[in-house]
Amino acid sequence: MMPARQLLRAFLLFWCVTFCTAASAQNTLWQVRSETATIYLLGSVHLLRHSDFPLDPALDAAYERTDLLVTELDLNAADPIETQALINRIGRISNGDLEDWMGAIDYRRAHELAADMEVDLDRLRGLKPWLAAITILQLQLARLGFSPDLGIDFYFAGRAKSDGKPVLGLETMEFQLEQFDSLSQQRQSEFLLQSLEEAEDIPGDIEAMVKAWKSGDAAALSRVLEEGFTGYPELYERLVKNRNSNWLPQLLELLNGDKDVLVVVGALHLVGTGSVIEMLEQRGFAAQQL
């Protein structure tokens, strides 16, 4: 089954290399230069707490030195009503309900596990298992004080909106949701069940991720990525490597342009085999961690 840790990684990647890391590295931030442009690649944690602020001044300095902000989604262009309608269209069950999808035995087990977390699964009966799992995880993280409104991408998108700085999105919300929705019905049910069974691990896992992110510990983040996807190579391809490959032409185009750019994507996209950093280095661009 898919472990809860995998759900947490996937959620933080969407919503909120093997390379040597200098001992003095302080941030999950890299600088890549061409003859005409500089790109700052900032790894994001998509949900943070008020206590995680203020950010290191180096992150704000990178933003201030750039002409364009690039994020996974253009958050400033997103319409909340249209976004909710899209989630309802893709994530809700059109025929039957969650118990029909999972079967009576698995649903009963999921219901019991959710009740242990003080969550009434019957209130989520209309959702597909993947969306029910993410909804419950988001509720659990909210109880710990984590909010997508405090995520790094939201923070810089808000600054860009106030400053009138242009924002470019690398993907659409529909594409991101379909990465979960295209999982098989059985895989989705496993997704929900195992995430509930391992819910008690989530507080320690996210604390470790945030600690590694704050200290710029790329090696630790790389281990988080490797452990989270162990045994699930198809999910690693779908959720990480393929998306990195999809972004690469856009990043190369920016490096061939004449604007300095801050690119904010999930931190786990910048570490490990097949990372954005590795792909850029393979094409001759040196990446310096700041």
User: What are the helix (H) ranges across 164-275?
Assistant: 173-181, 185-197, 202-214, 218-229, 233-236, 242-255
Q: What is the pLDDT along the chain (290 residues), one digit of tens a residue?
A: 444 555 555 555 454 422 233 334 479 999 999 999 999 999 998 889 999 999 999 999 999 999 999 999 998 998 889 999 999 999 999 999 999 999 999 999 999 999 999 999 999 999 999 999 999 988 999 999 999 899 999 999 999 999 999 999 999 999 989 988 998 899 899 889 988 988 888 888 888 888 899 999 999 888 888 877 777 777 788 888 899 999 999 999 999 999 999 999 999 899 988 899 999 999 999 999 99
Q: Please give the tally of structural domains in the chain.
A: 1
Token pair of 150 as six digits: 């405090």
For the whole model, what pTM was predicted? 0.89
Give whole-number Cα distances, 287 to 32, 39, 97, 163, in Å. Answer: 5, 10, 48, 28
Please say whether the beta carbons of 97 and 127 come within 8 A. no
Token pair of 199 as six digits: 């819910």
Q: Which domain holds residue 108?
A: 4-289
